[in-house]
Structure 1
C-alpha cells in the first residue's frame, strides 16, 4: 500500500479501537495497569487527537526499511540514515519490520520509553508526527530539502501544541503497536504479502490473486476517500461523546 493509505488506516484504527480499550475496566481500574501506565488518563480530547496523529505515523514505521521510499526523506538525512540502518538490520524491504514480532517489539519499546526516558519518548513522538505529515503528502513538490524543513517545522509545531495541552503519553506503546500492526495487515492485502510470522519463512497474502495492487485505481480512487470519510465520521462521533 502507499504511504497515505497506511497513515489513514492507522488513524482509523486508533479512532475506532482506542476508546473501547480505554473503557475496559482491566485497563482503567486495575492498580497493576495504573502503575504501569498503560491507559492512564489516555483519552481526553487533546490526547485522543494526538493519538490519532501518532498512530498514523506509527503505521509508517515498518516502511523505514525502504531507504528509497519517500517516507525515508521525512527529516532529510536524519531519517534517510535511520532508514538505511533499519533496512540493514531487518534484511531489506518487507522483511523483519513487516511482522508481528516487530509490531509487538515496537509497541513495548515505545511503552518503555514513555515511562522511563522522557527525552527518548519525545524524540519518538516527534518522529511519528513527522512520518504522519509526510505520509499525507504535505511538502514542497520537487524539493526534498524544502519538504524536509516543512516536515520538521510542522512536527515541532504540533509537538509544542501537544505540550501546551499537557498531553500525556501513557498510551504511546498502544498507539505504536496498533499502527505497526495495521500496516502489516494492510500489506497482507496487497499482491506481495508480508512475512507475518518472521523469522518463520513464508509470506501471507490474500488468496486467488485478489490482492490490492499498490497505487492503482482501487487504492487511489476508492480506498483512500473511504478511509478519509471514516476518519471524519469517527472524530465527529467521538467528540460528541466528550
Structure 2
C-alpha cells in the first residue's frame, strides 16, 4: 500500500494546510510532500516496506529495532482478549500515540537548529519521492525557490531568505509528521486487517483493538480494488486539492459550456 499511503498523506496535507495558515502553492507543496513521506513511516515495522529499504542497511537496522520494540510493547500491554501475535507489524508505529509523539519530536527539531529542521523535512521528501517519483523533488525545489525569492526583502541576502524558509518549515514540520502517520493508520483501517490506532484504549478486552470498516466495505491490501479504484481516486484528489485547482476546473467547465452553447 505504499503508493496509497503516500497519496493519502499528500491529500491530507493539502486539506490541512489552510487550517494552519498555509495557502499558496509555494507553501502547500512542501507541507503536503512531507506529509506524504511521513505517511510511510509506520511501515518501518515491516522488513519489506519501501521505508525499510530506503537507505539499504541503515533503514533495515532501524526497521529491525522498531519491530523488536513493537513486539516487546505488545507483550507488555496486550489485553486478555488480544490475539496471539508477534506484535511487530501494525502495532506500535500504527497508533495515534506514536503519531503524536513523533510529531512532537519533529516539532522540537527547531530547538536544535535549522539543520535539524532541514533533515526532518528532507527525510519526508525522500520517502515520498521514493514511492511517488522524482517529479515530487522537482516540485518541492521549485516551490522552495519561489518562496525564498518571494520572501527576500531589499537589502537581505540569499542566506537570510533560506533562514526564513527554514523557520517557516519549523513551524509546520511537526504537524506534517503526525498528520502523515495518522493518515496511514486511517488508510489501514479500510483494509481487512484493520489498525489498532486507539491503543492503549481498552475495547472489548483488547488494548490492541483493530479499528476497521464493516466487513463488506473492507478491501485487501495491494488487491485489485486498491489498484484500480483507490489509487486513481487518490490521484484525482491529489490534483484537485492543490490551491486554485478547483477554481481552474470550474472556469474551464464554464468556458466549455459557453462555447458549446454558441455552436
TM bracket (short chain): 0.7 to 0.9
Deviation, structure 1 residue 79 = 1.9
Is residue 174 from structure 1 mapped to residue 175 from structure 2 by the alignment? yes
Listed as ranges, the gaps of 5+ residues in structure 2 are: 72-87, 149-161, 201-206, 249-263
Contact 1:126-1:159 within 8 A present in 2 as well: no
The whole-number CA distance in structure 1 between the counterparts of 2:10 and 2:139 is: 20
Q: Does 1:135 align with 2:131?
A: yes
Counterpart in 2 of 1:111? 107
SS in 1 for 2:179: helix
Q: Does 1:47 align with 2:46?
A: no
Q: Which residue number corresponds to residue 12 of structure 1? A: 11
Structure 1 runs of 4+ with >4 Å offset: 154-161, 238-241
Task: Give the corresponding residue for 2:75.
Answer: none
SS class of match (2:8) = helix
Q: Structure 2: how far apart are the matches of 1:89 and 1:119?
A: 28
Q: What corresponds to 1:194 in structure 2?
A: 195
User: Over residues 41-64 of structure 1, what are the superposed CA-to-partner deviations in whole Å (9 max), with x where a residue is unaligned?
Assistant: x44432211011100001111111
Identify unmatched segments of 5+ residues in structure 1. 23-41, 139-150
CA distance in 1, matches of 2:173, 2:180: 11
**TM-score, reference length from structure 1:** 0.75
Q: Compute the RMSD of aligned alpha carbons.
A: 2.7
Partner of 2:224: 217
Q: 1:233 to 1:192 in 2, by over 3 A?
A: same
Rg bigger for which structure?
Answer: 2
| Deviates further, 216-225 or 82-91 | 82-91
**Shift in alpha-carbon separation, 1:89–1:238, aligned structure 2, 3 A:** farther
8 Å CA contact 2:33–2:140 kept in 1: the answer is no
1:176-207 C-alpha deviation (Å, 9 max, x unpaired): 11111111011011100111122323211222
